[in-house]
Structure 1
């Protein structure tokens, strides 16, 4: 996964509302219910750190310790699709540790790849996890990468139970979901700002101490090892880039069209109003000539 050298963490750029009660309003539509679950081995394989990966009845556990982390990769590349999993995060001190689910073609296009990320940024005791979403378009890992980060806290404790996280990617939009609630929609406004080349689905747990927790202030502490990431209820449904037959791209709307319903937009607005605290488009320290979609 690409390093995030360009990110400037402004933890309190947008103060959270303290009056949020309960969970978000119902989005009125559950795209995950339209896709059957698969076991890990039906759609994925180990990519690295095999000694730090365990599969049990289709569920996956990966872990990080001082010697290694672990990662996995889908068996096939996709040109669009819905990619999800139920994930349970490690509790306690997890600073510097990243647990992720993402799409990428970095192996096919090294130094010039596309990527769509869901990343859980580890934290210190008593502070909530950060869920970061990000989109790269023909980026590289050499410091010139242009990230499009948005960060939220969650309205629940992601270490207590499994919750469903997903990326929907089609030729017109990218939608990130948490328990079927859309938390971000990134629209295709130009070919230059949207990933269009085939990608694989990935997941990993790794040490990102240089930036992950409060811009690297807190590092991974291996006195607390091992750090676990647990995945099950995999959802992998899309247009196989190697397929020969016509394929209709996935959508996140109940009408089957692009965009979201009015009820879905209301749920997303609630999340962003109450739990989002960083938006790259609203960061005055960013050069927005590099992100014209803003």
Structure 2
């Protein structure tokens, strides 16, 4: 059955086609029985038609995003943790293995974080992450770029943050961009939040930030989910940044605006990182280091549009509570 054909036929025509008017020679009883039968059949047929259409729509979403045509991660070699990073804080809550993977965790005494050995002016920064299932409200697992240690109160930042959740509800992946300042109490974030088309607690998935002189692209398993373009220096980070990862308690706002807090009856909260991929121009590199080119192909745009159509749950540009004079790029 081609449901798309039936969906374009006017309902009265469809009813008459499936349930023609009984002949005038039929008795009143025969006419009533035929009419009653046709009405029941039509109702069942329409229910089946709606079910087919819903299942078709659901299966399309479940298949995942369209092929993006290009896998940026394939051009960057994977390396172990120690090649790029060192512990920054909470060393007792960080464990390395022989394969170069790192596990960090949060309990009621501390979380943990790590920092790159170098700062970068641009580049591709990716990692495979596996999150903890169950109750993780209030807990944030992050992978991000920042220069907060060197420009406190006037820093730049590009974030991938996994916001913890409660059982039965999906993780939220928050992407964010800060430009020159958030320490003065007037935080100007540029958040876009997504749910994912898979369960990030079941397997490792690859998450990445591609930062070029013209744009910032956030990717999940090589699928672009967001592109933030450079319109001018006032709304785009241009100073060198370090790469960080961490797990910490952000109960004040992380889960449903702070409705659910971290509950340490469920500790430890564990996050695992592996397959680190970094390729970029360090701050020390000369002009001979050429940054990646920005932009997206037509196939990448279609994949990004699919993600935003099906899984975008918050866009700062569409928030009526925001002061849009502070976010002119919207």
Q: TM-score, normalised by structure 2?
A: 0.81
For residues 157 and 279 of structure 1, the distance between their equivalents in structure 2, rounded to whole angstroms, comes to 22
Relative contact order, higher structure (CA 8 A, sep 6+): 1
Aligned to 1:227: 269
Aligned to 1:136: 178
Post-superposition CA distance 1:195-227 (Å, at most 9, x none): 000000000000000000000000000000000
Query: What SS does the corresponding residue of 2:150 show, helix, strand or coil?
Result: coil
Aligned to 2:210: 168
Cα 1:18–1:134, aligned 2, differ >3 Å: closer, same or farther?
farther
Please say if residues 225 and 307 of structure 2, whose CA atoms lie closer than 8 Å, have aligned partners that are also in contact.
Answer: yes
Aligned to 1:285: 321
1:39 to 80, 83, 88: 80
1:50 to 69, 82, 91: 91
For residues 161 and 240 of structure 1, the distance between their equivalents in structure 2, rounded to whole angstroms, comes to 31
Aligned length: 272
For residues 39 and 250 of structure 1, the distance between their equivalents in structure 2, rounded to whole angstroms, comes to 23
1:109 to 141, 151, 171: 151
Aligned to 1:120: 162
Alpha-carbon offset, residue 250 of structure 1: 2.1
Post-superposition CA distance 1:221-276 (Å, at most 9, x none): 0000000110000001100101235111124xxxxxx3100000000000000000
4+ residue runs over 4 A deviation: none
Of Structure 1 and Structure 2, the greater strand share is in: 1
For residues 169 and 182 of structure 2, the distance between their equivalents in structure 1, rounded to whole angstroms, comes to 31
Query: What SS does the corresponding residue of 1:272 show, helix, strand or coil?
Result: helix
Alpha-carbon offset, residue 18 of structure 1: 9.8
Of Structure 1 and Structure 2, the greater helix share is in: 2
Range that drifts further, 241-250 or 54-63: 241-250
For residues 63 and 78 of structure 1, the distance between their equivalents in structure 2, rounded to whole angstroms, comes to 27
Query: What SS does the corresponding residue of 1:76 show, helix, strand or coil?
Result: strand
Aligned to 1:29: 70
Gap regions ≥5 residues in structure 1: 1-16, 252-257
2:116 to 69, 74, 98: 74
Aligned to 1:96: 138
Aligned to 1:263: 299
**What is the 5 A alignment of 1:195-210?**
195-210=237-252
Query: What SS does the corresponding residue of 1:68 show, helix, strand or coil?
Result: coil
Q: TM-score, normalised by structure 1?
A: 0.91
Pairing 1:83–2:130 present? no
